Amino acid sequence: MKDDLLIEGLYADDYDNSRIKDIILNSYQERYKQTPSTHPEKFNPLDPPIGWKYDPYYECWIKL
């Protein structure tokens, strides 16, 4: 669906349609959101956010 709405060569801030802008923004935020796996330095392994655990043996965050 996203590919049907987006035009190659048109930048995000060039769109006028609010529905398409919402799709672009939601897709961007989902891809680049801050999670323990993308920004581990911002999270405490002893107090993990809901839905996450830190594995000290493999030194990585696990999304449950």
**pTM of the predicted structure, to 2 decimals:** 0.61
Share of the chain above pLDDT 70, in %: 95
CA–CA separation, 40 vs 35, rounded Å? 7
Domain count, the chain: 1
Residue 38: domain span:
2-63
Task: For 30-48, write each residue's pLDDT tens digit.
Answer: 888 899 998 999 999 999 9
Compute the C-alpha angle 14/6/31, nearest 5°.
90
